[in-house]
Structure 1
Amino acid sequence: MQRRKFITATAASLPAIVYGQSSEAPESRTDKGFVVKAHESRFNETTLLFGGSSPNDIKVSAKDTGGNLSIFEYTGKVKGGPPLHVHEKQDEIFFIVEGTFTFKVGDTIHHLSQGDTIFLPRKVPHTFSQSSGQGKMYFMFQPSGKMEDFFRKLSAFKGEPSPEEGAALFLAHEMKVVGPPLEL
């Protein structure tokens, strides 16, 4: 009987092992397709980063995917980027639509421009910096984690948070700051 319980429990946990998620049913998930138009956000909510200059719109929400995926459209109006940080539980993918960006992944520097895609694995320190005056990219988190809430809270700051405020915000959203932003 113990062997049967072990085998059943192991089989039931396979989705969590494969996808890095809980095997519990997702809190919510849409059962309908949808379209989000250019320059619009999934729920008509815009988060503005870098002191309110740069829209960061949710295109596909954790609410749509049961927490498995979130996709954002970022329109950068200023140069710069986040501090060097680590996501313990999420992979990220960026697709550059316009402009030029420099990414640091581990110890490697990558220069990306229109049409380029980069994969950032979880648990690897990374950052990026927009090096052109204007830029646009789509980026996604898998699984979603607390990223939508992170951008909402970051958007609420008038200007940039202090390094201490930023580190606390990252930590509260399952990330850790491990170094400064990239200098261009």
Structure 2
Amino acid sequence: MQRRKFITTAAAAIPAVTFGRELHLQESRTDHGFVVKANESRFKETTLLFGGTSPNDIKVSGKDTDGQLTLFEYTGNVQGGPPLHVHPKQDEIFFIIEGEYTFKVGDELHKLSKGDTIFLPRNVPHTFAQTSEKGKMFFMFQPSGKMEDYFRKLATFKGQPTPEEGAKLFADHEMLVVGLPLGL
């Protein structure tokens, strides 16, 4: 009799577990639209990069999308960019609002300016450099991964991290440095 009760209970639990999983996904997502005004971030939190010179605001958080997407708005007031790196788990998309950028994706170089969009697939080495004095872009990660926390931690540095600090910071946030930044 114990075995029959166990089998019946286990069989009855399968739909409940499946239904509960769906409920969990919906509970961790926002259930309504929202507006994030210009020069503001999703949670009234601004991460200032490169010694406080360049705001990097979260516009749509992984908390809103159950970790499926994060969207940032970056205003660059310094030239340069990150080292050549790989995201094993995420694709990236950049949309240029203002300024000029050079992107390296694999072995290809691309010059981008206002209105241009570039897609960077996961597992492909890439980097970029802002080549104009000022730049502005929206960029997103899909899925979100640990990128929000990466930029929060990067903002704690007074300037650029050393190559060793940068490599550790990348590794701690599921990225791998595989080369140098682009030279200007």
TM-score for the superposition, normalised by structure 2: 0.86
Q: Partners of 1:28 and 1:117 in 2: how far apart? A: 30
Q: Partners of 1:154 and 1:62 in 2: how far apart? A: 18
Shift of 1:50: 1.5
Q: Partners of 1:52 and 1:179 in 2: how far apart? A: 25
| 2:7 counterpart residue number | none
Q: Which runs of 5+ in 1 are unaligned?
A: 1-11, 13-22
Q: Partners of 2:80 and 2:158 in 1: how far apart? A: 17
**2:50–2:157 contact (8 Å) kept in structure 1:** no
Q: Deviations over 1:37-64 (max 9, x none)?
A: 0000000000111221100000000000
1:43 aligns with 2:59: no
Partner secondary structure for residue 152 of structure 1: helix
Percentage identity across paired residues of the two chains = 75
Aligned length: 165
**2:150–2:169 contact (8 Å) kept in structure 1:** yes
| 2:156 counterpart residue number | 156
Q: Deviations over 1:100-137 (max 9, x none)?
A: 00000000000000000000000000000000000000
Shift of 1:150: 0.2
Amino acid of the structure 2 residue aligned with 1:44: K
Amino acid of the structure 2 residue aligned with 1:129: A
| 1:181 counterpart residue number | 181
Q: Partners of 2:123 and 2:24 in 1: how far apart? A: 25
| 2:132 counterpart residue number | 132
| 2:166 counterpart residue number | 166
| 1:109 counterpart residue number | 109
Q: Segments of 4+ in structure 1 off by > 2 A?
A: 23-27
TM-score for the superposition, normalised by structure 1: 0.86
| 1:85 counterpart residue number | 85
Q: Partners of 1:41 and 1:64 in 2: how far apart? A: 13
Q: Partners of 1:111 and 1:159 in 2: how far apart? A: 26
Partner secondary structure for residue 62 of structure 1: coil
Q: Which runs of 5+ in 2 are unaligned?
A: 1-17
Q: What is the CA RMSD across the aligned residues, in angstroms?
A: 1.8
| 1:144 counterpart residue number | 144
| 1:5 counterpart residue number | none
- Bigger-Rg structure (1/2): 2
